[in-house]
Structure formats: structure tokens, C-alpha cells
Amino acid sequence: MNESDLIARYFAPLAGPEGLGLTDDAAVLTPPPGCDLVVTADAMVAGTHFFAEDPPDAIAAKALGVNLSDLAAKAAEPLGYLLSLALPPDWTEAFLAEFSRGLGEAGRAAGIGLLGGDTVATSGPLTLSITALGAVPEGKMIRRSGARPGDLLYVSGTIGDAALGLALRRAEILRGAPPPWAGAHAAELIDRYLRPRPRLALTPALRAGASAAMDVSDGLIGDIRAMMRASGAAAEVDLELIPFSAPARAALAADPSLLDVTLTGGDDYEIVCAIPPDSAEKFEVLASAAQVAVTRIGVVAARESFRERDGTARHFARDRFSHV
């Protein structure tokens, strides 16, 4: 199968009208009137960002999902995406069929189509990069750098499920047996690792009052610190308030040493944001209307503090996942 046949069979059906059926060298996209264009890109490499043995549809969904999560944190509505795909020598048509199916399902869930991209061969591992485009009302993109002392810190959803799922997936592939703490929730945790849930529904709540926001991709502690560095501030966080799912709580009860994994492991794709106190009630109401759980976990301050239940400070030797 040559490149043209490959594109026509697996990717042209995913193209929206702006992608011109992937029959041209470029796409044509007109942002909504009065909106700025928001652009984000993420690359993923087999063996670094996912396992080569992961389901092809999940690999595709994750590749798009991590970009949609970035748009969600900027309070941007997705418009479309570009895909660059470097296929290793052992690729199969069965793999591409499942990959394109998963990509199409993720795109339709977000209401967007494929705009274009490139497909090449590589002697290395499977590598893919997605560039996602979104729109936000002019001048209203939410940056990392807007948090101010006194703002309240919130996080969406639950934290740590994907990091625990990654540990279980690694054990499943490399050792063939789950660790003792896995319990009955292993499949649920692994699914959180495989398939991010970008919080696009939180966009109206963020636009209503967030002074700063970013997606939690590399670990909650490290990403809070990154947002505070950009804002020239610090965070006081009550670790007891951080929301955990029932499966994560069960894992932590079985092995308390997993707390660092849940807080610094990454792959959550939740939103951490700073909300001025006078906007907090409206933010919570709009988040509830969007059926996205949000939890207040701390406050923006002059000095950093991560406190446990008894008030003692907790220190993290490693606060986030590093890609390099």
C-alpha cells in the first residue's frame, strides 16, 4: 500500500470539510468571528509515552486527548487537528484500521475532524504528533501566569488513577501479574491510563472566572509548581483535600507508599486552576452544570506549602514526570 492509498483508506474518512478530504497539501480554516486561534502540539513515542502493546485505538485516542486537554485548560473550543505519523517497519493494516477507528471516535466525541498532516516511514519506534487548533473569545485565553495571592486552587475530577493504571499496565506487560495492591479495580485504573478524559465541558466555568489554568499531564505537584512559577507566586495545598477515586483510595489503603505515585506520576489530564474568591461560587455552579466535579485543594500564597492531615509538611524528591 502506497502513501496515497493509506491516506485514502484510513484517514480521509476522518477529515472534516476544512480538511478538503485530504486531497490537497493544506487545509482551510476560518476561526469564529471575534475569536483568537489557540494552537497546541504533543508528540508521543512508543516505549516512552505509551507501550507498543497498547490497543491501537487507545493510542490514537490518547494522542488526540492530550491535545484536547491542553485546549480545555485554555478554555478553547476545539476546531480541528493535524496528525503526523511515523510508522515502523512492522506496521500492519489491522493496526491502522484500529488506530484510525479510535482516532475517528475521539474526534467525533469532540466535534472535530482531521485537517491533514503527514505519514512517513521510520526505522525506529512508532511515533506520532498531533497539533490541535481551538478558538477562544478574543483576549480571553486563560494562561498559566495569571494566578494571584488569595486565589483559590481547584482541580477537576480525580487524581492518580492513570499513574496507578500505568504501574498496573507495566506489570501486566513485563511481569504478567498485577502487584498486590491492584485489587478488583485494575481494569478501571488501566483504562484511565489508556484513555484520557479531556475536560472540554469545563470551558464555560473556566471562562467565567479562572485567573490561571493548566492541564495536569505530568503530575499534580509538579504542574501546580509550574503554574505558580509562571505566575510568580506559590501554592499552599492541603493534601488531605486532593480528590481520589474509590479504586485509588483502595490502592492507597493497601499500600500508602503509592501516595507519591498518585501525586507526581502524571497522565491525569485533569485541570488545575486558580479562581478569585469572588468568582468561586459561580465557577462551582457552572462546573456542576457541566457535570464535572471540581474540588478546592488550596490557595495561592507567597510561600509554598504541601501539608498532610496532621499539618506536617510533605516534601517531594520528584514532583513530576519528565519527557527528557
pLDDT in tens, 217-275: 999 999 999 999 999 999 999 999 999 999 999 999 999 999 999 999 989 999 999 99
C-alpha distances out from residue 203 to 73, 86, 167, 213, 243, Å: 8, 33, 31, 11, 20
Give the pLDDT confidence score for residue 287 in this predicted structure. 98
Binding residues: 25, 40, 42, 49, 70, 117-118, 144, 215, 217-218, 267, 321
Buried b (16+ CB within 10 A) or exposed e, 50-81: bbeebbbbbbbbbbbbbbbbbbbbbbbbbbbb
- All CATH 3.30.1330.10 domain ranges of the chain, comma separated, are 3-137
Q: Average pLDDT across each block of 10 residues of the chain; the chain has 324 residues. List them in order.
A: 82 87 83 95 94 96 97 97 95 95 96 93 95 96 96 98 94 83 90 95 95 96 96 96 96 93 94 98 98 98 90 77 50
For residue 222, the one-letter residue type is: G
Amino acid at 131: T
Domain spanning 3-137: CATH superfamily: PurM-like, N-terminal domain (3.30.1330.10)
- Pick out the residues of the known binding site for substrate: 49, 267, 321
CATH number of 144-307: 3.90.650.10
Per-residue pLDDT, 319:
67
Residues of the chain with CATH 3.90.650.10: 144-307
Residue 321, pLDDT score: 60
Let me know how long the chain is: 324
Q: What is the pLDDT of residue 21?
A: 83
pLDDT tens profile 88-120: 999 999 999 999 999 999 999 999 999 999 999
Binding residue ranges for ATP: 117-118, 144, 217
User: Is the CB of residue 198 less than 8 Å from the CB of residue 292?
Assistant: no
Annotated binding site for Mg(2+): 25, 40, 42, 70, 118, 215, 218
